[in-house]
Structure 1
Amino acid sequence: MSRTVYVNGAYLPEEEARVSIFDRAFLFADGVYEVTSVIDGKLVDFAGHARRLARSLAELDMPAPCSEDELLAIHRELIRRNGLTEGMIYLQVTRGAADRDFAWSEGMTPTLVLFTQARALIDSPAAERGLKVISLEDLRWGRRDIKTVQLLYPSMAKMQAKARGKDDAWLVEDGFVTEGTSNNAWIVTRDGVLVTRDLSNRILHGITRAAVLRFAREAQMRVEERPFTIDEAKDAAEAFVTAATTFVTPVVEIDDAPVGDGAPGPVARRLRAIYIEESRKAAI
């Protein structure tokens, strides 16, 4: 049975879903998106994703297609109609459709699309074995804090990693790691300090990143928000990534060099367990 998806006010079988070829997301990547995790049939960090969506829209001078309460209702209806217990809901807002022109028209009607993706998030093989990553130059545009659908270079970087038999890539700019292709990057120093890149236009302001920072501090872990190099990461006791689709997932190898003992470490495992437990409590 096909999924039920949402397109501009209608719940439809996925085979019947249509968006105009003149939509500016198709022609100019003029759109933003969010991915919200679902566990136990409930939404994780929905309020955080809604706030970030509102910020992305504001940064692009794009009107919101509906209220936060309406978005929540759509998410819940998609969960109900698709019987989703674990996975994600993808949401995309575009500026809308108009004849092709670099300058957009005022008063355009936004396009709003949502769909579900069933996936095992808690019992993740990747979390058990750990990820192997390569480092690549970060060639993305300068406003990575806006969660746009402009994802060509991250996709190319991911495919370069796959071609080399690895799982992902960490992107490097001016000698420092920015983030992964679809996640925030972390290391644990040999003296037990958690390090992740500080917020700026150079990285996405991860919702899972923010939650993990909060949980780490509540657990009395030492945390530093600052840039770090690939060499520092290779010399770390542990490394991991955070994202809505992967929670906390260990990184066990960088550029063919093992991180720590080359296996998922205790800090990443503990933070993953805390994140899952607390997310289950707070999911709506």
Structure 2
Amino acid sequence: MTPIAYVNGDFVPLSEAKVSVLDRGFLFADGIYEVSAVLDGKLVDNDSHLARLERSVGEIKLPLPETIARIKEIQRELITRNGLKDGLVYIQVTRGADVGRDFAFPKGVKPTLMMFTSVKDIVNAASAKTGIGVITVPDIRWARRDIKSVALLAQVLAKQAAAEAGAGEAWMIEDGKVTEGGSSSAFILTKDDVLVTRENSSAILPGCTRKAVVKLAEERQLRVEERAFTIEEALKAKEAFITSASSFVQPVVKIDGKTVADGKPGPTAQRLREIYIDFARSTGE
């Protein structure tokens, strides 16, 4: 099956999907993106992702070219056209293409809306059973990390460093504390059985999967503290894990080559993964 994408009102083969070289997403990273998981052909926690999309575009005064209802229709149409069972739907909105390259917002230019799908078996990922290693890198990003900007060069460098080190993710460090992963939220489980993850602020992206996992944990009487933690604290923890739309809940068993607990996925992370997958299947749309 030829992969199908959506660009500015048209469904086209992905290989033919194009935007102008003058598009501000290309020239200035002047745009916002969002990613929703697909499980059993249904979108997972999609309303949360689209609410974050609306918030992010609002923060940079970028109007959506379509309503949220229409964006949902396009997502579902792409899933159908691509026969997607398990994977991801990517959305990107930019300020569009002007006649030149001027930093100030152009007038009378329609934003660009582009979407495509990718296949990924998140549930049966081998790394969910073995756990992953993470490395630490300095957090060199801008001050508004709560905006899901397409300006991802710092994360690209972090993820590349992780790949070169044979790790599955990079945890970014600022003022001695973990902010978040290159494309994930970071959690630890303390010796006192408290789940710890950094509080939402402009220092991190408000993770949709993070939000759902915190709620699911609290509903099961697990204690949750939203605060920053250090790598030293993480290495003394019972467990560590990450959350994201593209991995759900993923155990972390090594940090900078040092073993977390016994070096195996912990029971809490594994149970939260099962709970989240049940949530995803029961609420998918």
Q: TM-score scaled by structure 2?
A: 0.98
**How far apart, CA to CA, are the structure 2 residues paired with 1:136 and 1:130?**
20
| Match of residue 93 from structure 2 | 93
| Match of residue 179 from structure 1 | 180
| Match of residue 46 from structure 1 | 46
Matches within 5 A, 1:194-233: 194-233=195-234
1:246-273 Cα offsets, whole Å, 9 max, x none, are: 0000000001110111010000000000
**How far apart, CA to CA, are the structure 2 residues paired with 1:158 and 1:192?**
30
Counterpart of 1:93, as a letter, is V
Counterpart of 1:95, as a letter, is R
Instruction: Look up the SS of the partner of 2:133 in the other structure.
Output: strand
Instruction: Name whichever of 157-166 and 232-241 sits farther off.
Output: 157-166
| Match of residue 72 from structure 1 | 72
Aligned residues: CA RMSD: 0.7
| Match of residue 260 from structure 2 | 259
Q: TM-score scaled by structure 1?
A: 0.99
| Match of residue 32 from structure 1 | 32
| Match of residue 156 from structure 1 | 157
Cα deviation for residue 106 of structure 1 reads 2.6
Counterpart of 1:175, as a letter, is G
Unpaired stretches in structure 1, ≥5 consecutive residues: none
Instruction: Look up the SS of the partner of 2:143 in the other structure.
Output: coil
Instruction: Look up the SS of the partner of 1:47 in the other structure.
Output: helix
Sequence identity, in percent?
Answer: 52
**How far apart, CA to CA, are the structure 2 residues paired with 1:69 and 1:219?**
33
**How far apart, CA to CA, are the structure 1 residues paired with 2:80 and 2:203?**
37
Cα deviation for residue 278 of structure 1 reads 1.0
**How far apart, CA to CA, are the structure 2 residues paired with 1:195 and 1:123?**
26
| Match of residue 279 from structure 1 | 280
Counterpart of 1:280, as a letter, is R
Counterpart of 1:15, as a letter, is S
Instruction: Look up the SS of the partner of 2:110 in the other structure.
Output: coil
Cα deviation for residue 105 of structure 1 reads 1.4
Number of residues paired by the alignment?
A: 284
1:102-149 Cα offsets, whole Å, 9 max, x none, are: 112133200000000011011111111111011111001111100011
Cα deviation for residue 15 of structure 1 reads 1.9
| Match of residue 12 from structure 2 | 12
Unpaired stretches in structure 2, ≥5 consecutive residues: none
**How far apart, CA to CA, are the structure 2 residues paired with 1:199 and 1:106?**
34
**How far apart, CA to CA, are the structure 1 residues paired with 2:215 and 2:42?**
21
1:214-252 Cα offsets, whole Å, 9 max, x none, are: 000001101000000010011110000000000000000
Counterpart of 1:133, as a letter, is V
**How far apart, CA to CA, are the structure 1 residues paired with 2:140 and 2:250?**
24
**How far apart, CA to CA, are the structure 2 residues paired with 1:241 and 1:12?**
35
Cα deviation for residue 16 of structure 1 reads 1.6
| Match of residue 243 from structure 2 | 242
